[in-house]
Amino acid sequence: MALIVQKYGGTSVGSIERIEAVADKIAKFRDQGDDIVVVVSAMSGETNRLTALAHEVMDQPTPREMDVLLSTGEQVTIALLCMALEKRGYGARSFTGGQVRILTDEMHTKARIREIDNSRIFAQLEQQNVVVVAGFQGVDEAGNITTLGRGGSDTSAVALAAALEADECQIYTDVQGVYTTDPRIVEGARLLSQITFEEMLELASLGAKVLQIRAVEFAGKYKVPLRVLSTFEEGPGTLISLEEDTAMEDPSIAGIASERDEAKLTVAGVPDVPGIAYKVIGPVSDEGIEVDVIVQNAAIDGTNDVTFTVKRAESDKAKAILDKVAASLEAREVILDKKICKVSLVGVGMRSHAGIASKMFKALAEENINIQIITTSEIKISIVIEEKYLELAVRALHSAFNLSDPDGENSSK
Amino acid sequence: MALIVQKYGGTSVGSIERIEAVADKIAKFRDQGDDIVVVVSAMSGETNRLTALAHEVMDQPTPREMDVLLSTGEQVTIALLCMALEKRGYGARSFTGGQVRILTDEMHTKARIREIDNSRIFAQLEQQNVVVVAGFQGVDEAGNITTLGRGGSDTSAVALAAALEADECQIYTDVQGVYTTDPRIVEGARLLSQITFEEMLELASLGAKVLQIRAVEFAGKYKVPLRVLSTFEEGPGTLISLEEDTAMEDPSIAGIASERDEAKLTVAGVPDVPGIAYKVIGPVSDEGIEVDVIVQNAAIDGTNDVTFTVKRAESDKAKAILDKVAASLEAREVILDKKICKVSLVGVGMRSHAGIASKMFKALAEENINIQIITTSEIKISIVIEEKYLELAVRALHSAFNLSDPDGENSSK
C-alpha cells in the first residue's frame, strides 16, 4: 500500500501494444493496493514528427508555439493509456501539465517547474483512480503552455513524486538500470544495484543518458527515492539513494561516463583582468547556451585564454557570439574544435581516496591518449580528449579500475 | 478596419503548404488593418488517425479521454499556423479552447458552449497579434477538456464572433458557398449569394453539410453576420443574413437538402394514451441519440404507431432501447428500416405561398416515388422516401422549381 509515481518513456509507450503492456504493469500494482500516478512521454517518433512539421514551416520555430505543438504528443499518450486502463476495469483519469497545474517559469522549450498543485491528483486517488499525467509540460503564470525540454518527463515524474510525497518514483526505460559505463562501449559494463544521488547527478550530466539531470537534482533535493528499471524485462533496476551503501567499505568509482556531442571553444589572448571570464562566458549563457567545462590559463604576456565546452549543436551559435565578444575585448582569436569528447570517472569514494587521478592519467598515457582539459570535483574527474579516442579511453579506464568485477567498486585499492 | 473571425476547416489546413496559403490570406486582411481571430480545425486526416488509435485500444473509447485525445488535432494546427504567420512577420498567438476559456457543459464528445472569456483575446488584438484559436474544443467548469463533436469548429468560430461582437464571421471551406442543392447530385445546382438564417438552419440540419447547424443557430441568435466562402477560390461566397433579400419580391424555394444517413424506427401498437410519444422517445433521447422527424398515427383499434428517424449510425442502439420500451408498453413490434433518406424543400417564401407542397408531391408522383413520411414547418417540407430514390427525387424537385435559373428563386409562380 504505497503511493508510487511511475514514468514511462517514449519507447515504453511507442505503440498501442506497448501501451497495453504498460496498462498491465500498472494493473498489477493496483491489485496490490498501491496508489499509482503515471507520467508518460509522447509515443516514440511523435516528437520528431511534430518537430519536422514545425521545421517545414520555419527554421527557428517560435518557442511559444513549439511548446503548444510538442505538448500534444504527451496528451495523446495520456488519453490512450487511460483508455487501456479503463478497458481493464481500472478507473483512470488523464491530465495535461496545465490541468494539474504544473506551474513553470516562462522559458519556452526549456521551462523549469516552480510548483505543483497536488489537490486535484489526491482527489482522484481518493476515488481509486489511476492518475495519468502528461510529462514534459506545464503552464506559466499567464496560462501559456510550456515544455521542459527533451527528457523533461523524468523531471515531471520526480517533481510530482516530491509534491505528492510519494514513497518511490520509478523511471521505466528501455535499459535495466544504471551501468558502470555504456554497455555498447564496454562489453563487461555491469548493472549497479545502488548509486548515490551525487554520483547519479554526475553520471547523468556527463552522458549516461538513463535519467535527465534535472530529475536527479529534484530527487536529491526533495529526497525522493528514485529507481531506474526496465519496462520490458523484470528486475529491481538501480536504486538511487540518499546514502552511500554502507556495505561498500571501500568504494571509489561508481562508473564512467562519456559524452560525444560536445565542442570546445577557446577565446585566446584576452586581457588578464578580473571579470574577464564573465565577460566571455556571460554573453553565451545569456543566449541560453549551456556552458560545461571551463578552464582559464593566464599567460606570461599578461593575456589569458578562456576555454570551455558547449553542446556541439549549439557551438556555431556560441562561436558567432564569441566572435563579437572577441572583437570588443580585442582578443587574438576564437577557436572552435568540434572533434572532442569528454570522459568522466565518478564515485563518492573519491573524496577519501587519493591516487584516483594519477591512476586515470596513467591508464590513458599507456594508450597514448593526449588529455586536452582536466577538471575535477569532489566525486568526479573529467577529461576532454580527441573524439576518436572515446571508446579506447572508456575501455582502458573500465579495465584499470576493474569495474566489470561484481566487487569492482571496491577494487581500486 | 473590421474585426473578423475566420474559420478554416480541416481541408483548408490539410498540409503545410495549405497552412502557408491560409497565412497568406490572413496577412492580406492584416495589411488592410483588420483585426483577425482565426479558428482552425485539425489537419484533414488527423482526427481520423487519432480516432483509429483510440479504437485500437477499445471499441467504445471513454468519452472523457476521447476528448483529451482528439483535442490535440486542433492544437497542432494552431501552433503551425502561428509559426507561418510569425515567419511572415505578423505577430500571432495560439490558444487552446481551455486557454481562452471556451466554457462548455460536461457532455464529453458533444459539449455545448456556455460562455467565452473574451478578455485574453482582446488583450492580444490590442498588441496587434493575430489570435489563433483551436476550434471544436473547450473546458468544463472543472477544467476537463471537452469537444463539441465533429464540425464543432464552426460553432467555435461563431461563438467567438458573438463573444467578440465581430463584424463578420467567415467560414472558409472547400466549397464556394451554399448551393440550391448538392452539386454532386444536380449538375445545375446554383450558388446562392444570400440566404436567411432560417433557411440556412433548415438546409444545414437537413444535410447541406456546408455549416454545422449549431453554428447557424448561434449566429442567428446572436445576430452574427456569417459568410461561407472558399479557401481555394476567390469569390464572395454566400452571406447568411438576418433579413430576407428585399430584391426577391417573390421568393419561394432557397434550396433542396437531402440526407442519406438516416434510419426510420416504428414502434407499432402502443396504447393510444396521452404521453405515449414521450414514453417512446424519452428513453432514446436520454441516451443522447438525436431524434429527427417524428410522426404519430392513432389507429381505430385504440392503439398507436410512433415513427421517427435517427442517424443511421445510432439506429441499432436506438432499436435496442426501444425493444425494452416496447416490452414494458406491451407494444406489438419495433421496426427498424435503414434504407430510407430524407429530402427537404426549404425557403422563407413558403410562408406566404400556397401550392408548394402540392407541386412537390406532384413532381414526385410523376417519378413514381412513394412518400413514407411528410413533415412540414413554416419554411420547410421534408419527405422520407426509399433511399434508392434520393438522387431522382432531388433532380425532379430542382427542375420542378426551376432552381438552376438565376432567377429561379422567384420562378415557382
What is the average per-residue pLDDT within B342-367?
Answer: 85
**The predicted structure's pLDDT at residue A412:** 37
Q: Do the Cβ atoms of B239 and B194 come closer than 8 Å? A: yes
Q: What percent of chain A has pLDDT over 70?
A: 93
Rounded alpha-carbon distances, angstroms, from residue A135 to A99, A132, A150, B142, B279? 12, 9, 10, 21, 48
A93 vs B contacts (CB less than 8 Å):
64
Is some CB atom of chain B closer than 8 A to the CB atom of A101?
no
**The predicted structure's pLDDT at residue B409:** 45
Model pLDDT for residues B361-378, shown as the tens digit of each residue: 899 999 999 988 888 888
**The predicted structure's pLDDT at residue B319:** 95
Domains of chain B: 3-174 (3.40.1160.10), 256-410 (3.30.2130.10)
B295: its cell numbers: 410522426
Q: Among B94-103, B243-252, B277-286, B320-329, where is mean pLDDT lowest? A: B243-252
Model pLDDT for residues B223-242, shown as the tens digit of each residue: 999 999 999 888 999 999 87
With a CB cutoff of 8 Å and minimum separation 6, the contacts of A327 are none
With a CB cutoff of 8 Å and minimum separation 6, the contacts of B356 are B252, B253, B345, B347, B350, B381, B412
Of residues B180, B331, B208, B173, the one with CA closest to residue B266: B331
Q: How confident is the model at residue B247 (pLDDT cuts 50, 70, 90)?
A: very low
B308: its cell numbers: 421517427
Given a cut of 90, is residue A169 above it in pLDDT? yes
* Cα of B129 vs its chain's centroid, Å: 30
Dihedral sign for Cα atoms in the order A319, A322, A324, A330: negative
Is some CB atom of chain B closer than 8 A to the CB atom of A75?
yes
Model pLDDT for residues A341-389, shown as the tens digit of each residue: 999 999 887 776 667 888 888 999 999 999 888 888 888 888 999 999 9
Q: How confident is the model at residue A408 (pLDDT cuts 50, 70, 90)?
A: very low
Q: Mean of the per-residue pLDDT values for chain B? A: 89
Q: How confident is the model at residue B249 (pLDDT cuts 50, 70, 90)?
A: very low
Restricting to B residues 19-38, those with a Cβ less than 8 Å away from any Cβ of A are 19-20
Q: What percent of chain B has pLDDT over 90?
A: 61
**The predicted structure's pLDDT at residue A411:** 39
A300: its cell numbers: 606570461
A50 vs B contacts (CB less than 8 Å):
76
Of residues A157, A351, A187, the one with CA closest to residue A254: A351
With a CB cutoff of 8 Å and minimum separation 6, the contacts of B306 are B266, B267, B270, B276, B277, B280, B281, B294, B295, B296
C-beta atoms of B145 and A96 within 8 A: yes
Q: How confident is the model at residue A249 (pLDDT cuts 50, 70, 90)?
A: very low
Which one has a higher pLDDT value, B313 or B294?
A: B313
**The predicted structure's pLDDT at residue A355:** 79
Is some CB atom of chain A closer than 8 A to the CB atom of B50?
yes
Residue of A nearest to B140 (CA): A99
Is some CB atom of chain A closer than 8 A to the CB atom of B55?
no
Q: Do the Cβ atoms of B156 and B133 come closer than 8 Å? A: yes
**The predicted structure's pLDDT at residue A349:** 77
Residue B134: half-sphere exposure toward Cβ, Cα within 13 Å = 33
Q: Which of B62, B87, B93 sits opposite A82 (nearest CB)?
A: B62
Rounded alpha-carbon distances, angstroms, from residue A356 to A52, A251, A280, A410? 46, 12, 32, 13
**The predicted structure's pLDDT at residue A33:** 95
Given a cut of 90, is residue A183 above it in pLDDT? no
Amino acid symbol at B17: E
Given a cut of 50, is residue B408 above it in pLDDT? no
Question: Containing H/E element for B333?
Answer: strand B333-346
Suggest the residue from B13, B20, B38, B69 to mutate for an interface test with chain A (most A CBs closer than 10 A).
B69
C-beta atoms of B79 and A66 within 8 A: yes
Which one has a higher pLDDT value, A41 or A1?
A: A41
Model pLDDT for residues A296-322, shown as the tens digit of each residue: 777 777 788 889 999 999 999 999 999
Given a cut of 80, is residue A161 above it in pLDDT? yes
**The predicted structure's pLDDT at residue A407:** 59
**The predicted structure's pLDDT at residue B206:** 63
Distance CA A193, CA A216 (A): 17
A98 vs B contacts (CB less than 8 Å):
98
What is the average per-residue pLDDT within A65-73?
Answer: 97
Burial class of residue A63 (count of CB atoms within 10 Å of its CB; 0-12, 13-18, 19+): middle
Q: How confident is the model at residue A198 (pLDDT cuts 50, 70, 90)?
A: confident
Model pLDDT for residues B57-97, shown as the tens digit of each residue: 999 999 999 999 999 999 999 999 999 999 999 999 999 99
Q: Mean of the per-residue pLDDT values for chain A? A: 89
Model pLDDT for residues B102-149, shown as the tens digit of each residue: 999 999 999 999 999 999 999 999 999 999 999 999 999 999 999 997
ipTM comes to: 0.74
**The predicted structure's pLDDT at residue A44:** 94
Suggest the residue from A13, A55, A62 to mutate for an interface test with chain B (most B CBs closer than 10 A).
A62
**The predicted structure's pLDDT at residue B207:** 61
Predicted structure pTM score: 0.76
With a CB cutoff of 8 Å and minimum separation 6, the contacts of B310 are B262, B263, B265, B284, B289, B290, B291, B292, B318
Residue of A nearest to B20 (CA): A57
Given a cut of 70, is residue A270 above it in pLDDT? yes
